[in-house]
């Protein structure tokens, strides 16, 4: 059985860390080691580690963000495989058993993720691995989707060759990491079962919606120099999608930067947009398409739009 390191990033989550740790310790199989990176918390993690779980804490006196924390864990890891996790999320009782079983003859194992908000299911399959399982190429999938941190378990050597996470990215470092990992063409296996549970909380870093989107753009600027030329259109479409999200958030200036980046990378095809939007964007530019779409939404109530569209 391979040796598995679980690396948990922690910042004042308190009792949520206890729930997280107990979930890893509840099944027939258990991780070989658990490392917790304490990112300069005022609520120290030691008090929330159950005595029966031999977790080791790595602490920073300066808040450096999760990318730095995961890289510190990666340096210390003694396992052959590593799984990163946020301390406010947890796993199914069978997670360790099923993931370890899947590690044979591959470099990366991906599991589906279920998300909750205030006890209610938001999405039973957040990552959308069904598309990948059906044959989509891993690198294209990683660019167009968001492979969440706890979805993946991979070989330590593979992560070290990538030099871990980009610490220059305060958010969306996980999107960038999985794109770079996919570009190495690892052997991978997909577990469609949702073995990871995540809680969407108001105080979560990802809920500052504009910030992770702008960090995706920062990552695209770096990735355009690193990925094969054939994936420039994929990056263009990602930038176009980010621009649309920023526009709808009211971040018009940032959206314009995203539109320009998408245009510079190649002709985006806007696959997630409706036919009229695609036509407008290709003839008059994406910003014009967004303004016209915004006006359309304001003038026509949603119920009428639904009748018109279908």
Q: Are 188 and 254 contained in the same domain?
A: no
Average confidence (pLDDT) over 240-256:
96
Pairing of the two strands 4-10 and 81-86: parallel
Residues 67 and 197 both lie in one domain? yes
Read off the pLDDT of each residue in 134-155 and give the average, rounded to a whole number: 95
Mean pLDDT of the chain: 93
> pLDDT band at residue 133, thresholds of 50, 70 and 90?
confident
Interhelix angle 275-284/286-299, rounded to 10 degrees, is 140
Question: In 3D, which of 160, 122, 176, 218 has the Cα closest to residue 7?
Answer: 160
What is the per-residue pLDDT for 297? 79
Residues 90 and 222 reside in one and the same domain: no
Characterize the bridge pairing of strands 4-10 and 120-123. unpaired
80 plus 189 within the same structural domain: yes
> Looking at 173, 206, 239, which one is the last position of a domain?
206
* Last-in-domain residue among 191, 206, 221: 206
Same domain, residue pair 138 and 237: no
For 290-304, how does the pLDDT look when each residue is reduced to its tens digit (9 = 90+)?
999 999 878 776 655
With a cut of 80, say whether residue 126 has pLDDT above it.
yes
Torsions phi, psi of 201, nearest 5?
A: -110, 150
Is residue 75 located within the same domain as residue 170?
A: yes
d(CA 280, CA 273): 11
The answer to whether residues 134 and 68 belong to one domain is yes
Domain closes at, from 206, 221, 240? 206
C-alpha–C-alpha distance, residues 96 and 31, integer Å? 7
Domain shared by 109 and 176, yes or no: yes
Full residue range of the structural domain in which residue 187 is found: 4-206
pLDDT at 203: 62
Q: Do residues 261 and 221 make contact, with C-beta atoms less than 8 angstroms apart?
A: yes
Amino acid 240: pLDDT: 96
CATH code of the domain in which 85 resides: 3.90.550.10
* pLDDT confidence of residue 307: 54
User: Do 92 and 23 lie in a common domain?
Assistant: yes
User: In the predicted model, what is the mean pLDDT of residues 116-138?
Assistant: 92
* Number of structural domains the chain divides into: 2
- pTM here? 0.92
pLDDT digits (tens, 9 = 90+) for 37-54: 999 999 999 999 999 999
What is the rounded CA–CA span in Å between residue 175 and residue 74? 18
Residue 299's pLDDT is 78
Say if CB 129 and CB 110 are below 8 A apart: yes
How, if at all, do strands 108-117 and 152-155 pair?
Answer: antiparallel
Whether 207 shows a pLDDT value over 60: the answer reads no
Burial label for 185, CB within 10 Å (0-12, 13-18, 19+), is exposed
| Nearest by Cα to 101 from 211, 18, 207, 195 | 195
Judge if 273 and 172 occupy the same domain. Answer: no
Q: Do residues 140 and 262 share a domain?
A: no
pLDDT of 119 above 90: no
Asked whether the predicted pLDDT for residue 265 surpasses 90, the reply is: yes
Residue 93 in this model has a pLDDT that exceeds 60:
yes
- Verify that 115 and 150 share a domain, yes or no: yes
Mean predicted confidence (pLDDT) in 126-151: 94
């Amino acid at each position: 059985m391979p040796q598995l390191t679980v690396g948990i990033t922690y910042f004042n989550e308190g009792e949520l860390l206890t729930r997280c740790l107990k979930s890893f310790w509840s099944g027939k199989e258990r991780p070989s080691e658990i490392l917790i990176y304490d990112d300069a918390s005022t609520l120290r993690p030691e008090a929330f580690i159950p005595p029966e779980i031999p977790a080791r804490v790595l602490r920073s006196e300066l808040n450096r963000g999760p990318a730095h924390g995961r890289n510190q864990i990666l340096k210390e890891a003694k396992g052959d495989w590593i799984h990163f996790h946020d301390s406010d999320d947890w796993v199914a009782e069978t997670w360790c058993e099923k993931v370890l079983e899947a590690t044979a003859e591959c470099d990366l194992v991906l599991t589906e993720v279920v998300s909750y908000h205030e006890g209610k299911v938001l999405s039973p399959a957040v990552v959308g691995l069904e598309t990948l399982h059906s044959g989509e190429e891993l690198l294209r999938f990683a660019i167009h989707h968001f492979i969440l941190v706890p979805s993946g378990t991979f070989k330590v050597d593979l992560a070290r060759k990538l030099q871990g996470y980009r610490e220059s990215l305060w958010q969306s470092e996980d999107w960038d990491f999985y794109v770079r990992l996919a570009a190495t063409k690892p052997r991978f296996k997909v577990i469609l079962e949702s073995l990871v549970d995540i809680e969407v909380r108001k105080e979560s870093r990802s809920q500052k919606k504009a910030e992770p989107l702008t960090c995706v753009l920062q990552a695209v600027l770096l990735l355009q120099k690193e990925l094969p030329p054939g994936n420039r259109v994929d990056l263009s479409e990602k930038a176009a999608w980010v621009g649309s999200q920023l526009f709808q958030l009211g971040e018009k200036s940032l959206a314009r930067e995203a539109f320009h980046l998408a245009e510079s990378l190649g002709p985006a095809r806007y696959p997630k947009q409706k036919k009229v939007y695609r036509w407008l964007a290709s003839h008059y530019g994406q910003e014009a398409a967004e303004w016209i779409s915004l006006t359309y939404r304001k003038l026509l109530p949603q119920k009428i739009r639904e009748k018109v569209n279908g």
